[in-house]
Structure 1
C-alpha cells in the first residue's frame, strides 16, 4: 500500500538549530533515502519551496482567483514528502520514525494513505 509521509516544518524551530544539527538532518535524510531505496520501499521524495514562493488558486464560485502566497496563514508548512510503498500502516509508521525530523521539537511528520495514483510510473 502507498503512503505519503508529509514533512511539516516550523521555520522558527528549524532556525533555532545549530549549523551542525541542520547538517545532521540533511545527512539523516540521505541515509533514510538510501535505506528505503535499497529495501524497494521508496517511490519518490521531493523537498518543497517555502511559503513565500507559493501561488494559490482559490475557487470563488466563478472564475478562479490567483493569489501570491500560501492558502492559509499558519506557522507550519509542508516542507516536502516521501511517497513510499509498504506492506502496512505499521511499516509506514516504523519508517517515518527513522526520519530525523521525528525527533526534533517543532518538526512533525504526517502519514496518510494514498487513495488514488496516476501519472508516470504509478
Structure 2
C-alpha cells in the first residue's frame, strides 16, 4: 500500500523554534530517510517552496482564473512529503510518528493513501 506522509508546515511555529531545534529536525529527516531506505519502504520525497512562490489556477468558466498562493488566509501549508510503500495504514502512521516535525506542537504529518499513480518507474 502506498501512502503520502504530508508535512504540514506553519512558518510561525518554525520561526519560534531555536536553532538547535531546527537543526534537530534537519538531522532527524536525514536519519528518517536512511531508515526507510534501509527498510525498503522509501519511494520518494520532495520539499516544496513557500506558497508565496506559487499561484493557483481555478475553474471559473471558460478561462480559469489565476490567483496568488493556494489559500491566502492559511496559516499552514504542505511543505513536502514522503511517499512510502508499506504493508498497512498502521505502518504508515508509525512512520509518520517518526518524522521529526511530529515532535513539535503546531506541526503535523498527514497520512493519506494513494489511490492512483502515474509517472513513477516502479
TM-superposed CA distance for 1:72, in Å, is 4.9
Counterpart of 2:121 in structure 1 is 121
Taking only aligned residues, the RMSD between alpha carbons, in angstroms, comes to 1.0
Provide the aligned length of Structure 1 versus Structure 2.
Answer: 122
**Aligned-partner Cα distance in 2 for 1:99–1:54:** 25
**Aligned-partner Cα distance in 1 for 2:20–2:80:** 21
Counterpart of 2:48 in structure 1 is 48
Residue 31 (1) aligns with residue 28 (2): no
**Aligned-partner Cα distance in 1 for 2:110–2:103:** 14
Residue 70 (1) aligns with residue 70 (2): yes
Instruction: Give the TM-score normalised by the residue count of structure 2.
Output: 0.96
Q: Give unpaired runs (5+ residues) of structure 1.
A: none
- What are the superposed Cα offsets for residues 101-120 of structure 1, whole Å, 9 maximum, x if unpaired? 11101100100100001113
TM-superposed CA distance for 1:65, in Å, is 1.3
TM-superposed CA distance for 1:71, in Å, is 3.6
Q: Give unpaired runs (5+ residues) of structure 2.
A: none
